[in-house]
Structure 1
Amino acid sequence: MGLFERYLTIWVALGIAAGVALGLVLPDFFQAVAGLELAQVNLVVAVFIWVMIYPMMIQIDWAAIKDVGKKPQGLLLTLVVNWLIKPFTMAALGVLFFQHLFAPWVDPQSASEYIAGMILLGVAPCTAMVFVWSQLVKGDANYTLVQVSVNDLVMVVAFAPIAAFLLGVTNVTVPWETLVLSTVLYVVLPLAAGMATRHLLARRSPLAVGALVAKLKPWSIVGLIATVVLLFGFQAGTIIEKPAVIGLIAIPLVLQTYGIFFISWWGAKLLKLPHDVAGPACLIGTSNFFELAVAVAISLFGLNSGAALATVVGVLVEVPVMLSLVAIVNAWRPRVHTPRA
């Protein structure tokens, strides 16, 4: 492991601190950067995420995609966790904490909005960052691509009805511009660029692909740190103004993330999935498509609502928590899963 990968947790912690500090010192700058968005997708963050996932896209062997269908258990695990378990456990935790455990400290209106924001996070499985987590746990790039793509297709038809059912509303409008633009920016374009790069390098030398990926890996981590700085810089004022509320919202979100991970890991162990499939399968269910959740929260409840705040807290807790899960996956690798035949 290189310097960046070995001390990644430290770099992320420094990025969080730098983001909050810079957000307080340069609020106008971060506000201007936050305004550079299209369909609720921040274009600057999109660039950094693109930098993160491009190295993994180069590793995808399109000819090997067809082999995924021969071992569908990992895909089945992802679909069951994301669509039959995760939304409902998120709703249950929201009700447990904000209608019961935290009731003395939170008014009923705010509590219902926080629960709504949590539900929207639970119904939106991650698209972009999954490729980063998969790379960090040495996941099968081809299998990860199929898992993400199938989840995106299911999201098109399942997001609105599940969200409407759990929120108790009659109609949830899916922000199609956000969904489509995110898919194009985070999957289609980097995949096309990665395939083109792989094709050109393979014609030059069989070792050229691996050499380029090795050179780009530090830049992938730089993209991750830069994303963290921006996300925490955008919300620096809120973090300072409402630390107690953010802490309350973070508790059930963190419990949900670890809970879903362990459910997925147990399922992966039961199915005897190889590590390079099990790792990404477990991490897809634990991370969230925050752009979509934030966009729907704002459209349903308003920009300054508790629901919108809850989705933002989901963004803030995701990277540190996911890094801890990456460490767990890597630490458990030798003794949990058998090697692929």
Structure 2
Amino acid sequence: MSGPEGGGVAARLSFLDRGLAVWILAAMAAGIGLGRAAPGLGDTLAEVTVAGVSLPIALGLLVMMFPVLAKVRYDRLGTVTRDRRLLVPSLLLNWVAGPTLMFALAWLFLPDLPAYRTGLIVVGLARCIAMVIIWNDLACGHREAAAVLVALNSVFQVAAFSLLGWFYLSVLPGWLGLGQTGLDIPVGTVTRSVLVFLGIPLVAGYLTRRVGERARGRAWYEAVLVPRVGPFALYGLLFTVVVLFALQGRAITSHPLDVARVALPLLAYFALMWTGSMALGRAVGLDHARATTLAFTAAGNNFELAIAVCVATFGASSGQALAGVVGPLIEVPALIGLVHVALRARRWFAAPAVPVPQEEPARA
């Protein structure tokens, strides 16, 4: 993707984009405050479900992801699917390195807290299919590449999540003499999560572009419609953050030391996965946009799925569920910080020999 240095990109962001860290921290505080002020609110929100999926969270993610997926140029996805330098590292990072790293960090930091340790391992198995699209777009990653990698993660998630859960919680600890944790992960829970959190906004974004371009042309679509719907991605993100923290606000504030202990391996995970993935992308010859996409899709996690699995398996008040909830508490500010790092890392990448056929993201 062509464009100015990271600082120039950041300077052209809208007021809402530039203050994103502040707005998200405010949304997190608002959610926790609502959860504390109205103790029954979390239970009420948790009970509003459709096929086992939280309706408020699904609504927020739909609003959040639709504008970004409506920006994707689907006629260019073929160039991404043929890019083995991107696809092979992504699969290895997401389905080998990521779960293994989280397993190691969970045992290293939480050897005496099996419930939290199990919750973290489940988080490591749930590869990101939702919020990563927002982080990638803000960091000027390659939008079409993100769509392809997220779709691949979705397919692997349905096919391999239960099997990997059995391996990392039962087989591998037994081999290492660490003990075992039985975990029965229903495939239906994983499938519903993927269909709701990715399938609906993906289909909506694709149809919107097809219909819009046929009716008014690509120039009108990208110059008029995309800027109008673009801000709703951040509105949906803020709404989702408020709901997530309202659901678990009391649990978070009631166990501050537990939250701190769970936060440490998560911080280490995000730093190591993102930095290692970015360095790997540069080493294999990816340009900045594709390396950024590789890093964010490898470092992010599907906390919605992890929380759903932990609640369904261990209960809403379990330590496993609390570990899942601490995930976005740490991931959101950590990845916002990494967005700024990615924007400034452009100087370390050579300009691509053939410019990446993608426009700068339209901003509010």
Q: Structure 1 length normalisation: TM-score?
A: 0.91
Asked whether the 8 Å contact 1:139–1:280 carries over to 2, the reply is yes
Asked whether the 8 Å contact 1:89–1:256 carries over to 2, the reply is yes
Query: Is 1:90 matched with 2:82?
Result: no
Deviation of 1:143 (Å) = 1.5
Determine the C-alpha separation between the residues in 2 that align with 1:340 and 1:308.
47
Letter in 1 for 2:243: L
Q: 1:165 to 1:199 in 2, by over 3 A?
A: closer
Letter in 2 for 1:132: I
Any gaps of 5 or more consecutive residues in structure 1? 100-107
Task: Give secondary structure in 2 for the equivalent of 1:68.
Answer: helix
Query: Is 1:160 matched with 2:172?
Result: no
Determine the C-alpha separation between the residues in 2 that align with 1:303 and 1:29.
14
Q: Structure 2 length normalisation: TM-score?
A: 0.85
Aligned partner of 1:197 among 201, 208, 212: 208
The aligned counterpart of 2:191 is 180
Asked whether the 8 Å contact 1:127–1:152 carries over to 2, the reply is yes
Determine the C-alpha separation between the residues in 2 that align with 1:252 and 1:162.
20
Aligned partner of 2:144 among 142, 145, 148: 142
Determine the C-alpha separation between the residues in 2 that align with 1:90 and 1:337.
32
Deviation of 1:21 (Å) = 1.6
Task: Output one character per residue of 1:130-184: Cα deviation in whole Å (capped at 9) or x when no partner.
Answer: 2212221222222111111112222233222322122125864333333222222
Q: 1:303 to 1:19 in 2, by over 3 A?
A: closer
Q: 1:337 to 1:181 in 2, by over 3 A?
A: farther
Query: Is 1:38 matched with 2:40?
Result: no
Deviation of 1:333 (Å) = 2.0
Any gaps of 5 or more consecutive residues in structure 2? 1-12, 171-179, 355-364
The aligned counterpart of 1:18 is 30
Deviation of 1:305 (Å) = 2.3
Q: 1:236 to 1:340 in 2, by over 3 A?
A: farther
Identity %: 32
Aligned partner of 2:82 among 70, 74, 83: 70
Instruction: State the aligned residue count.
Output: 331
The aligned counterpart of 1:6 is 18
RMSD (CA atoms): 1.9
The aligned counterpart of 1:306 is 319
Q: 1:50 to 1:299 in 2, by over 3 A?
A: closer
Aligned partner of 2:277 among 261, 264, 269: 264
Determine the C-alpha separation between the residues in 2 that align with 1:247 and 1:149.
33
Asked whether the 8 Å contact 2:41–2:246 carries over to 1, the reply is no
Q: 1:82 to 1:337 in 2, by over 3 A?
A: farther
Q: Which moves more between the two structures, 38-47 or 70-79?
A: 38-47
The aligned counterpart of 1:128 is 130
Asked whether the 8 Å contact 1:161–1:172 carries over to 2, the reply is no
Asked whether the 8 Å contact 1:178–1:291 carries over to 2, the reply is no
Task: Give secondary structure in 1 for the equivalent of 2:231.
Answer: helix
Determine the C-alpha separation between the residues in 1 that align with 2:74 and 2:253.
47
Determine the C-alpha separation between the residues in 2 that align with 1:268 and 1:170.
35
Q: Which runs of 4+ in 1 moved over 6 A?
A: none
Q: 1:181 to 1:116 in 2, by over 3 A?
A: same
Task: Output one character per residue of 1:226-259: Cα deviation in whole Å (capped at 9) or x when no partner.
Answer: 1111111111111221111111111111111111
